[in-house]
Structure 1
Amino acid sequence: MKLLTQTLLLCLALALAHSHHDDAGNYDDDDHALPNRCDGIEFDAISPDEKGVTYFFKGPYLWKGYHGPAHLSNESFQELDDLHNIGHVDAAFRMHDAENLDDHDHIYFFLDDKVFSYYNHSLEEGYPKQLNEDFPGIPDHLDSAVECPKGECGANSVLFFKGHDVHVYDISTKTVKTKTWDHLPVCTSAFRWLEYYYCFHGNNFTRFNPVTGEVSGNYPKDARAYFMRCPSIGHVSEKGGRKVPKCSEIKIDAMTTDDAGKSYSFAGPLYMRLDLHRDGRHAFRITGLWKELTNGVDAVFSYADKMYMIKDDQVYIYKSGPYYTLIEGYPKTLKEELGVEGHVDAAFVCNDEHTVHIVQGKKLLDVDLTATPRVVTQEQHLPLSDIDAGLCDAKGIQLFKGSHFYHYDGVAVLTMSRMAPLAEDITSEMLSCQD
């Protein structure tokens, strides 16, 4: 009887283990238990691939992107389990080495004292290798790793974390400098996203400067509110969750592209980077980059490595770089800086020009940015009014009005027109909204 009872209990346990649950992160298609990252998980490693899909690793599992259920890691990176049975990745990063295209955009995985290099989900010939063979001077059994391109670090580098020690590996010279950042938590995973650096610990993260380790702002923060879609958790919606607006509901306050090629859109208290398709588009609060602009912007334009941000009758000028820095003495009044009075609807500078075109109602005001003092040099009539934002690039001029935009080949065509062209709809491809 005892044997029969034990047999029945075993059969029941097996039946429960193979029962099918929903795909919110509890069970997979093979009916094995899966972890749910919305429960709060300390990741082993985080890395984007060459296409910009971000992978989050925990034990033998991974998540692709910022939403969706877990999958077994060896389904995407089969060889990781061929020579390694611990069931987890110590660290991972995507190589940034534009000078050596043979390595650029490869994903490197670190497991104990071994390193694996993948491209397009295929293991590169000759791998796995001993860690010291590829990265001499770097200890094994790492906690995390993250790439740091030149301009954000002094040279193209990789930051390897072990405990509170950070080993900065120069990709070109293969030299290592070790720093100790006791003020940072132990980073079980690290991630570079939109030119910012994040140390993940527990289910939280802390943003840090990759050169000094300095932490600015209120940290740690819950990773579930920023790096994944979890019900009732979010940093944009007051009620939690990141609601993606419909394209028909979009209203842009300003758009610009700086001299480094970074493109931004601004709406209310939020901004979005538009040029980094591979890292995903996501709305952030303007005060995260431009802390003085607590009430949004009316217009923005870029000129000579500076970003001019207009709000009411004030002009804020920021020096461009890895981070934006407000130039001493600003803000100044519109009249003092640009020789303009009244509300500004939009502003834009076309490629290789030294004139900012300012939209006020149905007027286009030209201001020569090389002049001292700056004054309006020309006033022209526009074929439409109530413009929200303007952008001028190699494709021409786009004027945004509500959820639509109007395209013109250039300033001359714009000012000579007596009728507005056919309005075009803002699309999800442009701004990651819902069609």
Structure 2
Amino acid sequence: MRSTTGALCLAWALTLSLAHPLRGRAGEAGARSHGGAETQLNETELGSRCADDGGFDAVTLDEQGTMLFFRGDHVWKGFHGAAQLINATWPEIQGPVDAALRIHRQGHPGVHHSLYLFQGLQVWAYAEGRLRPGYPRPIGEEFKGVPGHLDSAVECHPEECLAEGLLFFKGPDVFSYGLELGALKRYTWPRVGNCTAAVRWLERYYCFQGPRFLRFQPHTGEVPAGYPRDARDYFMRCPGRGHGHETRGNATAMAIRDPCSGQPFQAFSADDAGRTYAFRGGQYFRLDSKRDGWHSWPLNHTWQDLAGQVDSAFSWDNKLYLIQGTLVSIYRAGHGYTRVQGYPRSLQDELGIARADATFTCPGSEQLFVIQGNRMRQVDLKQSPRRPGPETPIPHAHVDSAMCNAEGVYIFHGDSFHHYASVAELRGNPSPSAPQSVTAVLFGCPH
């Protein structure tokens, strides 16, 4: 579990600090997506980071949502910067930690926003960077029945695990601990095996085994096809590697994966949970919150059987509608995304329209807005069959994409977007609002 080699960092997600849900603060540390400018690493650090014996002792988010990577006596905070000694931040702990997790439970104020660090038979709990009174404590007293000398731990969110709880890994055993009643269950998940570190990231659960990793279902221990994979292709920046590294020498492919390249995005959307999606080519970029930052993956990583280019997207009734040409696919949200049976279908059959330059829905509304050229039509998604209403003009000759969230409506064209406080303001404006840079404002890229 413990290793003395150098730092690891996630290459496909960076912290994006925002002044409002889409507005990055230029110049702030960590205000860029993974494709932006970043610290250049020397050959020694690259060699250490990408070594065959690499791995994590523990990975977790801290109380502020910064990702922490533990290895040996060191910790790396966020996705940039040099390694720091663990006891420089947590002076009560000397040497490596066995496991780490953050508890984020508003319904449990006694433990909410607490960072737990495990070492041997004891656990330390921190709130707002300070050791909570009464700690360290024996692990078996804090979490009754959970053994010491753990390999890893991860918080298990109720929407993904069907209950509020924690998962602890020790050798081949998995201990599921319920926060509500303190109940402990013990499992053996043969497909998961031993985890030297575990983390929840963007609603998915990952188990690290040295330089390799796998994704698992946190309530069954099932592992999707295609795992384990090499962490150096996904969770580290290594020369000549990365998911899709076979095309890294292709300038066009690299530009598609780089949100700061200036390549246009074909679609944007915001879902019912407040997540933002940006689509380009066969890639998508996702923003959950300013803590999680933008995260990029191929389309079929999230939406099985989806390939090619997404031309438009919108969310309604806990489903995401992805439009490609004259076809639409519907995916149910929940424990990942599953495609509704019988899709894709034609736009004409589904929405009563032949084509769409852009589509969007606003939070809490069943009204879909379809933009075609400089006209917009409205479709009541609760009606059956669905039929578009009359056309109304908008102050844009052409639109590439559009979306709506709690802050208003966003109209995209090329490398710019225009913001309107509401649909009524979009309709009522005689001329477009001031253009803003997609890459600089949304992704925090350097000007």
Q: What TM-score bracket applies, with the shorter chain setting the length?
A: 0.7 to 0.9
Aligned match of 2:380 in 368, 376, 382? 368
Tell me the residue number matched to 1:239. Answer: 248
Displacement of 1:177: 0.8
- The change in CA–CA distance for 1:119 and 1:428 in structure 2 (over 3 A counts) is farther
Helix, strand or coil for the counterpart of 1:79?
A: coil
Q: Does 1:356 align with 2:356?
A: no
- The change in CA–CA distance for 1:285 and 1:108 in structure 2 (over 3 A counts) is same
The AA in structure 2 aligned to 1:239 is R
Aligned match of 2:424 in 412, 415, 419? 412
Given that 1:109 and 1:115 are in contact with CA atoms closer than 8 Å, whether structure 2 keeps it comes out as yes
Distance 1:281 1:25 in 2: 27
Cα deviation digits, residues 179-212 of structure 1 (max 9, x gap): 1011223101101111100000011110111011
The AA in structure 2 aligned to 1:54 is M
Displacement of 1:288: 0.9
What are the equivalent positions in structure 2 for 1:226-305 lying under 5 Å apart? 226-235=234-243, 238-239=247-248, 245=258, 247=260, 249-305=262-318
Further displaced range: 133-142 or 112-121? 112-121
Tell me the residue number matched to 2:357. Answer: 345
Tell me the residue number matched to 1:60. Answer: 73
Tell me the residue number matched to 2:14. Answer: none
Distance 1:418 1:120 in 2: 49
Given that 2:278 and 2:284 are in contact with CA atoms closer than 8 Å, whether structure 1 keeps it comes out as yes
Tell me the residue number matched to 1:383. Answer: 395
Given that 2:168 and 2:175 are in contact with CA atoms closer than 8 Å, whether structure 1 keeps it comes out as yes
Distance 1:350 1:183 in 2: 41
- The change in CA–CA distance for 1:168 and 1:255 in structure 2 (over 3 A counts) is same
Aligned match of 1:312 in 321, 325, 348? 325
Distance 1:262 1:419 in 2: 29
Tell me the residue number matched to 1:108. Answer: 116
Tell me the residue number matched to 1:16. Answer: none
The AA in structure 2 aligned to 1:38 is C
Distance 1:382 1:313 in 2: 23
- The change in CA–CA distance for 1:410 and 1:65 in structure 2 (over 3 A counts) is closer
Aligned match of 1:77 in 81, 84, 90? 90
Displacement of 1:67: 4.1
Further displaced range: 44-53 or 191-200? 44-53
Distance 2:321 2:439 in 1: 27
Distance 1:413 1:328 in 2: 38
- The change in CA–CA distance for 1:153 and 1:214 in structure 2 (over 3 A counts) is same
Taking structure 2 as the reference length, the TM-score comes to 0.84
Distance 2:136 2:57 in 1: 19
What are the equivalent positions in structure 2 for 1:115-194 lying under 5 Å apart? 115-194=123-202
Displacement of 1:23: 6.7
The AA in structure 1 aligned to 2:344 is P
Cα deviation digits, residues 60-87 of structure 1 (max 9, x gap): 1222223443332222221111xxxxx3
Taking structure 1 as the reference length, the TM-score comes to 0.86
Distance 2:405 2:229 in 1: 37
Structure 1: 5+ residue stretches without partners: 1-21, 28-33, 82-86
Given that 1:281 and 1:432 are in contact with CA atoms closer than 8 Å, whether structure 2 keeps it comes out as no
Given that 2:304 and 2:339 are in contact with CA atoms closer than 8 Å, whether structure 1 keeps it comes out as no
Displacement of 1:50: 1.4
Distance 2:438 2:276 in 1: 16
Tell me the residue number matched to 1:50. Answer: 63
Helix, strand or coil for the counterpart of 2:160?
A: coil
Given that 2:151 and 2:171 are in contact with CA atoms closer than 8 Å, whether structure 1 keeps it comes out as yes
Cα deviation digits, residues 146-185 of structure 1 (max 9, x gap): 0011111121111000111110000111111111011223
Distance 2:413 2:187 in 1: 51
% identical equivalent positions? 41
- The change in CA–CA distance for 1:57 and 1:25 in structure 2 (over 3 A counts) is farther
Cα deviation digits, residues 298-355 of structure 1 (max 9, x gap): 111111111111111111111121311111111111110001013x211011233322
Given that 1:146 and 1:159 are in contact with CA atoms closer than 8 Å, whether structure 2 keeps it comes out as yes
Distance 1:248 1:25 in 2: 26
Displacement of 1:250: 4.5
Helix, strand or coil for the counterpart of 1:51?
A: coil
Distance 2:377 2:41 in 1: 56
Given that 1:156 and 1:171 are in contact with CA atoms closer than 8 Å, whether structure 2 keeps it comes out as yes
Distance 1:102 1:37 in 2: 38
Given that 1:298 and 1:312 are in contact with CA atoms closer than 8 Å, whether structure 2 keeps it comes out as yes
Displacement of 1:102: 3.0
The AA in structure 1 aligned to 2:147 is P
Helix, strand or coil for the counterpart of 1:215?
A: coil
Given that 1:35 and 1:70 are in contact with CA atoms closer than 8 Å, whether structure 2 keeps it comes out as no
Distance 2:292 2:422 in 1: 31
Aligned match of 1:336 in 329, 346, 349? 349
Structure showing greater Rg = 1
- The change in CA–CA distance for 1:132 and 1:251 in structure 2 (over 3 A counts) is same
Given that 2:248 and 2:254 are in contact with CA atoms closer than 8 Å, whether structure 1 keeps it comes out as no
Distance 1:105 1:229 in 2: 30
Relative contact order, CA 8 A, sep 6+: which one is greater? 2
Given that 2:274 and 2:405 are in contact with CA atoms closer than 8 Å, whether structure 1 keeps it comes out as no
- The change in CA–CA distance for 1:23 and 1:426 in structure 2 (over 3 A counts) is closer
The AA in structure 2 aligned to 1:211 is H
Given that 2:312 and 2:359 are in contact with CA atoms closer than 8 Å, whether structure 1 keeps it comes out as yes
Structure 2: 5+ residue stretches without partners: 1-39
- The change in CA–CA distance for 1:361 and 1:217 in structure 2 (over 3 A counts) is farther
Given that 1:392 and 1:398 are in contact with CA atoms closer than 8 Å, whether structure 2 keeps it comes out as yes
Distance 1:278 1:242 in 2: 26
Displacement of 1:253: 1.9
Given that 1:149 and 1:157 are in contact with CA atoms closer than 8 Å, whether structure 2 keeps it comes out as yes
The AA in structure 2 aligned to 1:64 is K
Given that 1:248 and 1:426 are in contact with CA atoms closer than 8 Å, whether structure 2 keeps it comes out as no
